[in-house]
Amino acid sequence: MATSATKIVVNALGKAAGGVNAHFVLLVDGQKVGEGTAGTTAKDFVFTPVLTSDVAHKVQIKYDNDAVINGQDRSLTVNSISIGGKTIAPTAGIVSYDKGALDGKDVAAGQSNLWWNGTLVVNADKSYFPVATPAASTGTKDTIVVNASGTPAGGVNAHFKVLVDGKQIGEGTAGTAAKDFSFTTDAADRVAHKVQVQYDNDAMINGQDRSLTVNSISINGHKYASTDNAVTYDKGALDGKDVIAGQKGMWWNGTLVVNAPASDFPAGTTTTPTTPTTPTTPTTPTTPTNPTPTGPAFYVATNGKDSWSGKLAAPNADGTDGPFASLQKAQQAMRADPNIDTTYIRGGDYRQNGLWLDGQDSGVHFVGYGSEKAVIHGGSNATVSFGLGGAKNVTIEGLSFADGVVGGHYVYADNAAGLTFANNVVKGGGYGITVQNSANSKVTGNQFDNTGAESIFVKAGSNATIVSDNLIRHPNAADRGDAGIWINGSSDVKVTHNQIENSPEKAIAVGSVQTDGSDASYRVTIANNKVIDANLESNDGGGIYLINRQQTLTDHVVVNNDVSGTTATNPSSSVASWGIYLDDWTSGATVKGNVVHDNIGGVFLHGGWNNTVTENVIAGNSGAQIGLQQDVAWSGWKGHLMNGNDISGNVIDVREGTAVHIYGPANVGNLHNNFYSKLNASQDMFDVWPQVLAGGGKGHLAEWQAAGYDKGSVMLDPGFVNPGADDFSLSSNSPVYGMGFDHIAYTDIGLLHG
C-alpha cells in the first residue's frame, strides 16, 4: 500500500490544576504518534505521521490527566483538528467523545471542552488521506552530517555506521577531536524517515572504556541535537527494545534514531528510487569483527601447541610457531615474562582441568579474542574453572562457561582484590561467579542462564564490590538456593542495572543470617535493577529481599528498581511473598522511587525500625500493597521493638488486593501524605491488629484515618501511562509531581547494554 506523511494539527488550550497543565496524546487507529501539554493560550500542535493512503483512519485526541486539586479543575479545550489541510470542528458529525477508557463505551457527541479524561475520535474517511503525487526530481541527493568524537580503548577508536530506515549509507571512525562526517543518500521525497547512527564497537580494555559522543545530526540542513525530542537511543540491537531518550554520550553499543519528519526531505532532494538489487551473501569473516588485540600478548587456540611461543594469534605458514594450546601454559608464560600480562583466548571449546591463580598471577588478564566465542567447559575433574586465591587485579573477560558440575563454581575468588569479571556468558553448572574476601571487585556485563546455584555470590569481606549490568535468567536451577544475586557479609556494595528473571526464590538478597553480626552487611545500594518473576518455588521470599539478624541500623538504599511478578508456589494473599521485603529486623534502610507492581504483596517491613519508604509506585499487587509486622519469632527468639518507620509520599494503587496490612502494635509505622488511587472508600481496604479501627480489625479509608493513620493522604488519578498493560510508570505531567513526588527515571532502570 502507498503511504505518505500526513500533517495533523490540533489547536488546543487548557486549564491547570496543582501547577500542572492539561496533557493529551495523539493516536491514529490506536497507535501513539505524539503528545502535547496545553497551556492557557491556544496554540497549534503539529504532527506528521506516515499513514497508509487512500483508506479511512481514526484520529484520536486522548486527554489523560484530569484532576481536581485544591478546588482547581484541570481540563482540556480542543478548538479544531486539521488533517491534511482540512479543518474539522470538535462538534462536527464525524467526531465523538469516548469518555473514560478508549473502549467504545460511554460515547457522546464531540465537544470542544473535555472536562474529564476521555478521547475525541475523528472518523476521517479516505478523502483525508489521498495518495501523494510524486514530485519531479532534480537529481539532488540528501545530505546527512554527523558531528562526533570518541574515546579510544586499546588503541582503537569508536566506530559507527549511518543508516536510513535500517539500510547502511556509510560509516565513520571518530577520534578524540569532534568533526563532521558527511554522507549522501537517495531517500524518498516528502516522506518521514528514520536516520540512525549505530555505534558498534564498544569495549573495555585495560581499564579504558571506548565510547562515542554524537553532538548533532543534520538532515538536509535541519540540525538535531542528540538530546532533541525527535531522537531516541535504542540500546543494544536495533530492535525497538530498551529504548531511552536520546543522549550525546554513547557508553555502550546501540543506535541513536532521529525520527525525521517529511519536511526534512522536501521535493527535489532525491532522485527517483530504483528497485534495490539483491544483496550478495557476505563472506564469512576469517578475523574477528571486533578490533584485533594490540600490544604484547600471549594467545591460546584450539589449534595451538604448548611447545610454541604463544605470541602468534594463529599458526605460521610453515607450522613452526603459533598460539598455546592450554590456559595453564599461558599462565606459566605470563609468570615468566614480566612484560606480558594478557592472554587472548581464541574461539573454540576448551576442556581442561581448572586453572588456579595466586599471588604470582596478580595483574593478569584472560580475555576472549575479539568476537570469537571461547567456551570453557567444566566437568567432574574441574569443580572450579577459574580459581583465584591471593591474586589481585585479575581480569576475566569475554569468555563462555558451560557444563560445570552442580556443586562447583565456574569462577571462585577468595582472599583476592580488585578483580574484574566482565562480559562473560555462564550457563548451567553450579555457582556462577563467587567473590569472597575480595574487596573492590567488579562483576559487570555478564549473562547467566540456568546456573545451578547463585549466579553471583558476594561473600564475607568483599567490600566495595560492584555488581552491575548483568542479565540473569533462572538462577538456582538445581538447588533452588537463595537468590540470583546474594550479598552476604560485605558492605558498601553496589548492585545496579541488573535484570533478573524467573528466580525460584529471591532475585536479589542482601544481609545477614547470623545473629552475632559475623556476616553483617552495611550501606549496600540496590538501584536501577529490573526484577521479573521471582519466588516461583517458595512461599516466603521477595523480589528484592533484605535481612538483618544482627539487629543494627544498616543504611541500605533500595532506589529506582522495577519489581514485578513476585509470586509463590501456592499463590494466595496470605503467603509471605513481597516485591520488596525487609525481613528479620532490617532497619535504617531507605526504599525510594521503586515501581512495585503485579506481585502478590507490594512492600513489607518485618520487625525493623527507622526505615523510610517514600515516593514509590506500589500498584496492582494481588495482596496488600504495604505490610508491616512486629512479630519476628523463630526458635523462641524475639528481638528489638518495631518503631520509627516512615511510609509517606507513595502512590498506592488498589485496583487489586487491599491497601495496608499491619500486625501490631499499632505504632509500628507512621503512614502519612500518601496518594491513593483506585481505592474503594466504602470497602474495608485496611486491616490492623490490635483492633484499633471503629469496625474492629478491618476498616475503610475514613475509619482508617479516624484511627490516626494516613494523615494528609489523598485520593487522585496519578496518571499511569498504560495500567491496562501493567505499565504503571507515571506520565510526565502526573499531578503527584506538583505535590513533592520526585520524577522516577524509568529509562534508567534495567540493563545498560540492552
What pLDDT, on a 0 to 100 scale, did the predictor assign at position 33? 80
Give the integer Cα–Cα distance in Å for 403 and 244. Answer: 36
What average pLDDT does the segment 694-716 reach?
A: 90
What average pLDDT does the segment 441-459 reach?
A: 95
Residue 285 pLDDT class (50, 70, 90 cuts) = very low
What pLDDT, on a 0 to 100 scale, did the predictor assign at position 45? 85
What pLDDT, on a 0 to 100 scale, did the predictor assign at position 134? 45
What average pLDDT does the segment 62-84 reach?
A: 90
Residue 111: all three cell numbers together: 465537544
Residue 553 has pLDDT above 60, yes or no: yes
CB 635 within 8 A of CB 663: no
Query: Tens of pLDDT along 133-172?
Result: 544 434 457 899 999 999 988 888 899 999 998 888 888 8
What pLDDT, on a 0 to 100 scale, did the predictor assign at position 2? 61
Residue 278 has pLDDT above 80, yes or no: no
CB 21 within 8 A of CB 38: yes
φ, ψ of residue 146 to 5 degrees: the values are -110, 120
What pLDDT, on a 0 to 100 scale, did the predictor assign at position 381? 65
What pLDDT, on a 0 to 100 scale, did the predictor assign at position 294? 64
CB 268 within 8 A of CB 137: yes
Strand spans (E) along 208-347: 208-209, 211-219, 222-225, 231-235, 243-245, 249-250, 254-260, 298-300, 342-345
What average pLDDT does the segment 581-591 reach?
A: 95
Residue 618 pLDDT class (50, 70, 90 cuts) = very high
Least confident of 122-131, 507-516, 520-529, 570-579: 570-579
Name the residue with higher pLDDT: 285 or 84. Answer: 84
Query: Tens of pLDDT along 627-684?
Result: 999 888 765 667 888 999 999 999 999 999 999 999 877 789 999 999 999 999 899 9
What pLDDT, on a 0 to 100 scale, did the predictor assign at position 733? 87
Residue 54: all three cell numbers together: 487512500
CB 511 within 8 A of CB 482: no
Give the integer Cα–Cα distance in Å for 300 and 652. Answer: 57
What average pLDDT does the segment 19-46 reach?
A: 87
Q: Which CATH number fits domain 142-264: 2.60.60.40, 3.40.50.1470, 3.30.360.10, 2.60.40.10?
A: 2.60.60.40
Cα→Cα distances 534→314, 482, 743, Å: 46, 11, 26
What pLDDT, on a 0 to 100 scale, did the predictor assign at position 415? 94
What pLDDT, on a 0 to 100 scale, did the predictor assign at position 635? 57
Same fold, 3-128 and 142-264: yes
> Is 663 exposed, middle or buried, given 0-12, 13-18 or 19+ CB atoms closer than 10 A?
middle
Least confident of 115-119, 319-323, 650-654: 115-119
CB 558 within 8 A of CB 546: yes
C-beta atoms surrounding 679 within 10 Å? 20
Strand partners, 355: 386
Per-residue b/e over 449-482, b at no fewer than 16 CB within 10 Å?
A: bbbbbbbbbbbbbbbebbbbbbbbbbbbbbeebb
Give the integer Cα–Cα distance in Å for 112 and 68. Answer: 19
Give the integer Cα–Cα distance in Å for 471 and 459. Answer: 20
What pLDDT, on a 0 to 100 scale, did the predictor assign at position 282? 31
Residue 311 pLDDT class (50, 70, 90 cuts) = very high
What pLDDT, on a 0 to 100 scale, did the predictor assign at position 753? 65
Let me know if domain 3-128 sits in CATH 2.60.60.40.
yes
Residue 489 has pLDDT above 70, yes or no: yes
Least confident of 53-67, 388-402, 632-646: 632-646
Give the integer Cα–Cα distance in Å for 260 and 254. Answer: 18
Least confident of 149-153, 187-191, 227-231, 710-714: 187-191
What pLDDT, on a 0 to 100 scale, did the predictor assign at position 281? 31
Name the residue with higher pLDDT: 303 or 230. Answer: 303
Name the residue with higher pLDDT: 251 or 125. Answer: 125
Residue 400 has pLDDT above 60, yes or no: yes
CB 345 within 8 A of CB 326: no
The Cα angle at residue 614 between residues 612 and 617, in degrees rounded to 5: 140
Per-residue b/e over 180-192, b at no fewer than 16 CB within 10 Å?
A: ebebebbbbbbbb
pTM value is: 0.64
Residue 432 has pLDDT above 60, yes or no: yes
Name the residue with higher pLDDT: 484 or 239. Answer: 484
Residue 360 has pLDDT above 90, yes or no: yes
Cα→Cα distances 739→19, 74, 675, 734, Å: 9, 15, 10, 10
What average pLDDT does the segment 331-353 reach?
A: 94
Query: Tens of pLDDT along 453-470?
Result: 999 999 999 999 999 999
Residue 268 pLDDT class (50, 70, 90 cuts) = low
What pLDDT, on a 0 to 100 scale, did the predictor assign at position 8? 92
Give the integer Cα–Cα distance in Å for 374 and 368. Answer: 6
Residue 37: all three cell numbers together: 501539554
Name the residue with higher pLDDT: 210 or 594. Answer: 594
The Cα angle at residue 385 between residues 481 and 437, in degrees rounded to 5: 65
90 sits in the region (left: phi over 0; alpha: psi -120 to 50; else beta) called alpha
Computed over every residue of the chain, the mean pLDDT equals: 88
What residue segments make up the domains of the chain, in order of their start?
Answer: 3-128, 142-264, 480-727
Q: Is the Cα torsion angle 381, 382, 388, 393 positive or negative in sign?
A: positive
Label each residue of 510-575 as H, E or C: EEECCCCCCCCCCCCEEECCEEECCCCCCCEEEEEEEEECCCCECCCEEECCEEECCCCCCCCCCC
CB 547 within 8 A of CB 512: yes
Give the integer Cα–Cα distance in Å for 142 and 264. Answer: 9
What average pLDDT does the segment 400-426 reach?
A: 93
CB 535 within 8 A of CB 571: no
Residue 40 has pLDDT above 70, yes or no: yes
DSSP character string of 646-693:
EEES-EEE-SSSEEEEEES-TTSEEEES-EEES--TTS--EEEES--B
Closest CA to 615 of 658, 667, 673, 562: 673
Q: Percent of the chain beyond pLDDT 70? A: 93
Residue 710: all three cell numbers together: 494516613
Residue 326 pLDDT class (50, 70, 90 cuts) = very high
Residue 67: all three cell numbers together: 484532576
Residue 573 pLDDT class (50, 70, 90 cuts) = low
Closest CA to 671 of 685, 683, 682, 657: 685
Residue 195: all three cell numbers together: 536516520
What average pLDDT does the segment 592-610 reach?
A: 95
Q: Report CA dihedral (515, 521, 525, 527) to the nearest 10 degrees.
A: -50
Residues in the chain: 754
Residue 290 has pLDDT above 50, yes or no: no
What pLDDT, on a 0 to 100 scale, did the predictor assign at position 243? 82
Residue 303: all three cell numbers together: 589449534
CB 453 within 8 A of CB 428: no
